[in-house]
Amino acid sequence: MKRAQTFLRYSSWLQSNFQDWDPWNRAMCLQYIGQVGARAGPASKGITLLEALRFGRYVMDIPTPEGLLSEPQLRCRAQRLMISKDAYHPSRPLRATELATLERAMDAGLDLRYVYNLGSVIFAALSRSRWSDLKRVDQFWIESAEFNGEPFGFVEARTKFHKTATNLAKKQRYLLLVAPLLGVTETDWSRHWVRSMLELKVDINVEPFGAICRAPAHDGTLCARSCTSEEVGVFCQQVL
């Protein structure tokens, strides 16, 4: 599917830029991979196109000319673009002490919207979820009880829109997101989180549920849009 999507993007570009076009034309391939940047595509554009062309010839029996795959200028330009790619600098993981700080902050009398955002972050951390997995949740529920005088249970959700849904069979299966009521501290963070949801008019019983962490609207309520990972990162840094 990845190789097919690359070739479809290349074909769409050819159709929109040329009246008469040939996907095996060397000059057109060079022109396509030469357009990179914020709007035209990533620096890996050339390498992914060559991989798609090889896959088409050697796996799918598409009559791609072998001379195009070994064309020196095409290969060199693709490699030069990859060298110019910015280095990847991922954010460091959240420490357990920092997660404990966030959990204790749920019981510190913060603004209602802060409590709502913090609960979403804690749920993402304890359920080992990607932030993108929480954008379109199908169902949300809580299973709670008591054990030895302490709350016991889980905050649960399920979604079909996740990164690992790469084929039709996986897209029809739910990904379950499960977080314990008690995290790394003794604070019942989920109780404060659910209270903030109810006061902000979030219906936890509706299906589909929508975004776990919704962005604030201008009037102080919540809109349907999910907060981005960048916005949540800035929020966590400010709280910590």
pLDDT digits (tens, 9 = 90+) for 177-206: 999 988 889 888 999 999 999 999 999 889
Residues ≥6 apart with Cβ < 8 Å to 158:
137, 138, 139, 174, 175, 176, 177
- pLDDT > 90 in the chain, percent: 33
Measured CA to CA, the distance from residue 177 to residue 172 in angstroms comes to 16
∠ at Cα 161 (6, 99), nearest 5°? Answer: 115
Residue 199 confidence (pLDDT): 92
The pLDDT > 70 percentage for the chain reads 92
Nearest to 178 by CA among 200, 193, 156: 156
Q: Taking all residues of the chain, what is their mean pLDDT, rounded to a whole number?
A: 87
The CA distances from residue 143 to 116, 129, 152, 190, 223, in Å, are 19, 19, 8, 11, 27
Question: Which residues are CB-neighbours of 9 under 8 A, at least 6 positions away?
Answer: none
Find where tokens 């035209």 sit: 40
Instruction: Please determine, for residue 155, whether its predicted confidence score (pLDDT) is greater than 80.
Output: yes
Provide the residue ranges of all domains of the chain, joining segments of one domain with +: 2-83, 96-239
The answer on pLDDT for 2 being more than 60 is yes
Predicted pLDDT of residue 70: 87
Burial of 109 (0-12, 13-18, 19+ CB in 10 A): exposed
Residue carrying structure tokens 């990162």:
233
pLDDT value at position 120? Answer: 94
- Alpha-carbon distance of 127 to 209, in angstroms, equals 17
Q: What is the pTM of this model?
A: 0.66
Instruction: List pLDDT tens digits, range 158-177.
Output: 988 766 666 666 667 788 99
pLDDT, tens digit (0-9, with 9 covering 90-100), for 33-80: 886 555 556 778 888 999 999 999 999 898 888 888 888 988 888 888
Q: What is the pLDDT of residues 3-45, one digit of tens each?
A: 889 989 999 999 999 989 999 998 999 888 886 555 556 778 8
